[in-house]
């Protein structure tokens, strides 16, 4: 009899231990499930897109602020398929398409026209990118013909790379007026460094005095005040927006020139200024500092991350939510 009681006691103890083990396992599984759901909920909050009608900072296209211009996928021969995928999946987040490096000049006109028409179907404007400087060597008449050809092809914006043009300021302003008179938008692109030969010396001279031409310098000097003054004159001539190049400004996210960016925005405003963000971290910095209304030029692979950032309220102590880059091709 005692042995039966002992066996019964041992059996009960085993049942208790088994039940405890099962309970612990259930608790662990429940905790893992809760943590998984919490992380997913957290990520869904991080990576959600607000509807345009619910977010006053993200109006519908065409937008004047919070503009996202993307660099076209020029590295692939399947550019038409890639652009179609982008427009169909994320077209509502894309305001402009830029053909960088003169890539459009290598395409058959019929094919280029198809790409431009595709962009217009999704309410996306199309920019020539910095190609005009290659035509200046043929004379001013060639530039006038270029403006007319861009209009016939359906381009909306002609970009003028001030650093590459290497023309006097008055000539630059004349090009801006020429573009505007042709019915297109003009967007000069500036860098924060200028050729030393182009920086005014401030020397007094008599009117009409002869000044011998000086050879072009190979030295580039940072001059933010000159950039702002030239941009203001371009606006007076009719320019719609200016682009600020990432070189020496925000090429690397850990060396952003916040002082220069603040000065440019303070003088020129957010609405008519666009910054090139060469990587996702730079985009995050701009949205954190200036909110979703900042105009940015990004690579097509950064569209999703940038729109996620625009839809969040990034506080000063926020944790980066950027994941791995999203590549469509």
Q: Does 206 map to a domain?
A: no
pLDDT digits (tens, 9 = 90+) for 296-325: 999 888 988 898 888 765 544 455 555 544
Does residue 152 sit in the same domain as residue 20? no
Residues 40 and 100 in one domain: no
pLDDT tens profile 11-60: 455 444 445 444 455 445 544 444 444 444 443 343 343 443 444 556 78
Mapped onto helix, strand or coil, the DSSP state of residue 302 is: helix
CA distance linking residue 183 with residue 235, whole number of Å: 16
On whether both 142 and 276 belong to a single domain, the answer is yes
pLDDT tops 70 at residue 129: yes
What pLDDT score does 286 carry? 92
201 part of a folded domain: no
Q: What global pTM score does this model have?
A: 0.74
Q: Which tens digit of pLDDT belongs to each residue from 65-98? A: 999 999 886 655 557 788 888 999 888 999 999 9
- pLDDT value at residue 120: 96
Considering the domain boundaries, does residue 257 fall inside one?
Answer: yes
Which of 221-230, 243-252, 285-294 shows the lowest mean pLDDT across its residues? 243-252
What is the distance, to the nearest Å, from the Cα of residue 37 to the centroid of all Cα atoms in its chain? 33
Residues 164 and 295 in one domain: yes
Domain count, the chain: 2
Domain span at residue 30 reads 1-46
Residue 320 lies in a domain: no
The confidence score (pLDDT) of residue 260 equals 92
Is residue 167 domain-shared with residue 273, that is, in the same domain?
yes
Task: Indicate if 181 and 280 belong to the same structural domain.
Answer: yes
Same domain, 164 and 80: yes
Cα separation, 304 vs 63, in Å, equals 18
Give the mean pLDDT of the chain: 76
Does residue 68 contact residue 303 with C-beta atoms inside 8 Å?
yes
148 and 24, same domain (yes or no):
no
**pLDDT at residue number 301:** 87
Q: Are 306 and 279 in contact (CB under 8 A)?
A: no
**Domain match, 27 and 63 both:** no
123 and 32 within one domain = no
Token representation of residue 329: 């091709």
Q: Band of the pLDDT at 213, cuts 50, 70, 90? A: low
Within-domain flag for 294: yes
Q: What is the pLDDT of residues 145-157, one digit of tens each?
A: 889 989 999 999 9
Q: How far apart are CA 166 and CA 272, in angstroms?
A: 23
Domain termination site, one of 46, 65, 82: 46
pLDDT at 75: 57
Query: Are residues 159 and 68 part of one domain?
Result: yes
Both 10 and 141 in one domain: the answer is no
Task: State what percent of residues in the chain have pLDDT above 90.
Answer: 34
């Amino acid at each position: 009899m005692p042995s039966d009681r002992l066996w019964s006691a041992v059996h009960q103890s085993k049942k208790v231990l088994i039940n405890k083990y099962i309970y612990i396992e259930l608790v662990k599984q429940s905790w893992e499930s809760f943590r998984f759901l919490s992380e997913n909920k957290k990520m869904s909050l991080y990576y959600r897109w607000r509807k345009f009608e619910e977010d006053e900072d993200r109006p519908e296209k065409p937008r004047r602020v919070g503009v996202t211009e993307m660099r076209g996928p020029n590295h692939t021969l399947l550019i038409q398929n890639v652009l179609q995928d982008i427009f169909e999946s994320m077209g509502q987040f894309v305001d402009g398409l830029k053909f960088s490096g003169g890539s459009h000049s290598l395409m058959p006109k019929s094919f280029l026209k198809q790409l431009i028409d595709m962009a217009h179907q999704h309410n996306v404007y199309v920019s020539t990118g910095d190609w005009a400087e290659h035509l200046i060597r043929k004379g001013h008449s060639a530039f006038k013909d270029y403006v007319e050809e861009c209009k016939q092809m359906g381009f909306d914006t002609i970009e003028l790379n001030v650093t590459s043009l290497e023309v006097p300021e008055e000539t630059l302003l004349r090009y801006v007026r020429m573009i505007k008179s042709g019915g297109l938008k003009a967007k000069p692109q500036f860098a924060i460094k200028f050729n030393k030969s182009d920086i005014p010396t401030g020397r007094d001279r008599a009117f009409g005095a002869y000044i011998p031409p000086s050879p072009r310098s190979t030295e580039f000097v940072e001059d933010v005040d000159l950039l702002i003054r030239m941009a203001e004159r371009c606006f007076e001539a009719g320019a719609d927006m200016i682009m600020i190049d990432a070189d020496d400004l925000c090429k690397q996210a850990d060396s952003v020139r916040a002082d220069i960016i603040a000065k440019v925005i303070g003088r020129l405003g957010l609405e008519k200024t666009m910054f090139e963000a060469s990587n996702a971290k730079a985009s995050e910095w701009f949205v954190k500092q200036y909110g979703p209304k900042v105009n940015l030029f990004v690579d097509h692979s950064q569209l999703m991350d940038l729109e996620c950032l625009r839809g969040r309220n990034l506080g000063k102590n926020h944790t980066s939510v950027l994941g791995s880059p999203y590549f469509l091709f």
